[in-house]
Amino acid sequence: MRTWFSVREACDACGLRFERDEQDDYWLGAYTLNFIVTEVVFALLLGVTLLATRPDPPWTAIIWMGVAQMSLTPIAFYPFAKALWLAIDLIFRPVTTDDFA
C-alpha cells in the first residue's frame, strides 16, 4: 500500500503487479470481502448487545452505534481487504510471467 487508500502499481521487491488482468473490475472481490466483514461484525455486535441488554435493549443507542460501526469498519478494513483479495486471487490463479511489471 502506498497510503491507506492507495495501492502501489507493483511490488518493489519482485515486481508483481497488484492489479491482475481485470483493470477496472479487479477490486470488486476486495469490495465484497469488505462488505461481508462489515456485515458480520455488525451482526455479532448486535447479537451481543441484544443478549446483554435484554429484555429492554436501548434501541436509540444501538442504532447510533450501528451507524458508526457500519461507517468506520469499511474504512478500517480497506487495506486488509485489498491484500486478502490479492492473496485469494493468487491461490486460485497462480502467478504467470504476465503478472510482473
Q: Which residues fall within 8 angstroms of residue 9, CB to CB, at 6 or more apart? A: 17, 18, 19, 101
Per-residue confidence (pLDDT) for residue 22, from 0 to 100: 65
69 within 8 A of 42, measured Cβ to Cβ: yes
pLDDT along the chain (101 residues), means of 10: 88 86 77 96 97 96 97 96 91 88 69
